[in-house]
Amino acid sequence: MTSVATLDAEYYQARQQLVHAAAVQAQDAWRLLDGRDAVDSWSDQVRPRAVAALEQVQQQSAALAPLYVAGALAAARALSAPLGALVASAFAGLSANGMMLESLLDFAFGRYRRALAADVPDTEARQMWLSRLLTYVATETADAARSALHVACVVEPAVTGYVRTVTLPACGRCILLAGRVYRFTTGFPRHPRCDCSMRPVTAGQRHQAAGPRALFDSMSRDQQERVFGRGDAAAIRAGADLGRVVNSRRAGQLYVAGGHEFTREATTTRGVGRQLGALAKSGGRYRRSQVARPTAAQLVDAVDGDREELARQLRRFGYLR
């Protein structure tokens, strides 16, 4: 019997091959753009080819879902008895937010035209447009696969939820979610070009997907620092909680004062506010510490290689549990 790990790898590779095929076809279509008559060449030649390529790989990626779910259930020694047959073509032709693919790809073309209007050289404007176009192609192919996989899980009575599977390389936010188990009705958090997936699980099944720390430890030092940054990676290697380090960089939470980096994340009584001390009501629902909380990277820089002091400071500011 094929192992779950092998199934995951084969399913991932199959999806990546489809994304690559769609990207190649989109690039081929992009080369047909005539700068002398950009609007007509876009609407008559480039867009129809790019849309056709994307629709094809959306349908192909969706068709993989029931096969993968059946294989995952077999590996878990559970019976596959779907309540209905998945229609792969239903997942093609639209973006994840319900927009027609033609309209979505028009945004990429609009980026090209705005760049030209801003006197960006044509070669550079085309590169900007191509980058956006490939982002749409990769994202919508992956979203079609995940949507189909979600439906394939819903119609299998044996499936009670799914575990998030993450294949390296991945961003810090995705690594943080690796191995997390969700109910089968829960939506899938993702970002543009995200290639994470879900593995169906059954009641009482042991979940063996690699978690955040296992993925971090499997990365080389250079890979860790490329994803998390030099300081944060050093803090995690020193024992800091990966989730707290990553969450400290949530959008809107960072600020710089006196040349040092701080975060507002988790400084209320619901986080590590009590540990930081000096609590006060400041307009929100919960009291917040008035003690500035440095980021983990800032603490690494401040201790200048003193491991004992780093551990003490990481604990003081809530990065060590």
Question: Mean of the pLDDT values across residues 121-148?
Answer: 93
Nearby residues of 173 by Cβ (< 8 Å), 6 or more positions away:
191, 246
Name the average pLDDT for the chain: 93
Same domain for 156 and 113, yes or no, is: yes
In a domain, 178, yes or no: yes
Q: Band of the pLDDT at 244, cuts 50, 70, 90? A: very high
Q: Which residue has the higher pLDDT, 36 or 209?
A: 36
Same domain for 68 and 200, yes or no, is: yes
Please choose, from the candidates 127, 139, 196, 192, the residue with its C-alpha nearest in 3D space to the C-alpha of residue 163: 196
Q: How many domains does the chain have?
A: 2
- Give CA angle at 181 (8, 77), nearest 5°: 55
Supply the pLDDT for residue 204. Answer: 77
**Residue 62 is part of which domain span?**
4-212
Please choose, from the candidates 293, 296, 320, the residue with its C-alpha nearest in 3D space to the C-alpha of residue 224: 296
Nearby residues of 274 by Cβ (< 8 Å), 6 or more positions away:
289
Same domain for 207 and 125, yes or no, is: yes
Q: How many CA atoms lie within 13 A of 164 on its CB side?
A: 23
Same domain for 127 and 186, yes or no, is: yes
Same domain for 194 and 310, yes or no, is: no
Same domain for 208 and 233, yes or no, is: no
In a domain, 261, yes or no: yes
Task: Give percent above pLDDT 90 in the chain.
Answer: 84
pLDDT above 80: residue 158: yes
- Taking 3-state DSSP, the helix, strand and coil percentages for the chain, each rounded to the nearest 5, stand at 55, 10, 35
Q: pLDDT tens digits, residue range 162-207?
A: 999 999 999 999 999 999 999 878 888 899 999 999 999 998 777 6
Instruction: Give the span between the Cα atoms of 269 and 290, in whole angstroms.
Output: 12
Q: pLDDT tens digits, residue range 78-133?
A: 999 999 999 999 999 999 989 999 999 999 899 899 999 999 999 999 998 899 99
Identify whether the C-beta of residue 148 lies closer than 8 Å to the C-beta of residue 58.
no
Q: How is residue 35 annotated by DSSP?
A: G
Supply the pLDDT for residue 321. Answer: 83
Instruction: Give the span between the Cα atoms of 79 and 94, in whole angstroms.
Output: 32
Q: Which residue has the tokens 């990207």?
A: 23
Identify whether the C-beta of residue 80 lies closer than 8 Å to the C-beta of residue 74.
yes
Same domain for 103 and 205, yes or no, is: yes
Q: Band of the pLDDT at 1, cuts 50, 70, 90? A: low
> Is the CA virtual torsion 24, 222, 243, 154 positive or negative?
positive
Task: Give percent above pLDDT 70 in the chain.
Answer: 99
Residue 74: CB atoms within 10 Å? 15
Give DSSP secondary structure letters for 36-94. Answer: GGHHHHIIIIIHHHHHHHHHHHHHHHHHHHHHHHHHHHHHTT-----SS---GGGGSSB
Same domain for 18 and 56, yes or no, is: yes
Query: Is 289 in a helix, a strand, or coil?
Result: strand
CA dihedral 15, 20, 21, 27 (to 10 degrees): 150
Supply the pLDDT for residue 300. Answer: 97
Same domain for 160 and 234, yes or no, is: no
Q: How large is the angle between the packed helices 101-117 and 122-154, nearest 10 degrees?
A: 160
Q: pLDDT tens digits, residue range 22-78?
A: 999 999 999 999 988 999 999 999 999 999 999 999 999 999 999 999 999 998 889
